[in-house]
Amino acid sequence: MWYGGYAQPRRLSEYWRIAITQNRFNVSNVNTNCPKGKNMTIFAKIINREIPADIVYEDEHCLAFRDVSPQAPMHVLLIPKHPIAKLADANQEHKEILGHMMVKASEVAKQQGFEDFRVVINNGAEVGQTVFHLHLHLLAGRSFQWPPG
């Protein structure tokens, strides 16, 4: 249900039930290069198809899926398949994937029906990063304030 410009957060179990019954997650292009083990992030588990997600875009380098607690009518997370913990950890070897993700961010927003959108990257716990796997928040469909936060 939408109210006040953003979605009422759903419990994760309700999201999974809906995703599973509506077959809303795609199991193609599974990337087996994403790390496995007990230190795996929730995003790595999504990449490895260990937990479901409402995937809206995927290629060999990145994956985009709807946020389970959307803050706007469109709230999609775009993640690299090769994990980088945070933007500050990126270096010269990551410039291709970072550029690729910026191009794909625009394509995903257009695919979702939005020309205007906001991109947010949180870098570190103090500024709100809760999953330490680099991700772009793509938000659209409501008015945003400046400065953010």
H/E/C letters for each residue in 72-127? Answer: CCEEEEEEECCCCCCHHHCCHHHHHHHHHHHHHHHHHHHHCCCCCCEEECCCCHHH
pTM (predicted TM-score): 0.77
pLDDT at 17 exceeding the cut of 50: no
pLDDT tens digits, 27-76:
333 444 455 565 789 999 999 999 999 999 999 999 999 999 999 999 99
Q: What percent of the chain has pLDDT over 90?
A: 72
Q: How confident is the model at residue 32, as a pLDDT?
A: 40
Does any domain span residue 73? yes
Catalytic center residues: 135
In which domain, by residue range, is 82 found? 33-140
Q: What is the CATH number of the domain that holds 51?
A: 3.30.428.10
CB 84 within 8 A of CB 34: no
pLDDT of residue 10: 44
| pLDDT confidence of residue 148 | 85
Total domain count, the chain: 1
Query: What is the overall mean pLDDT for the chain?
Result: 83
Residue 101 lies in a domain: yes
Asked, for residue 3, whether it belongs to a domain, the answer is no
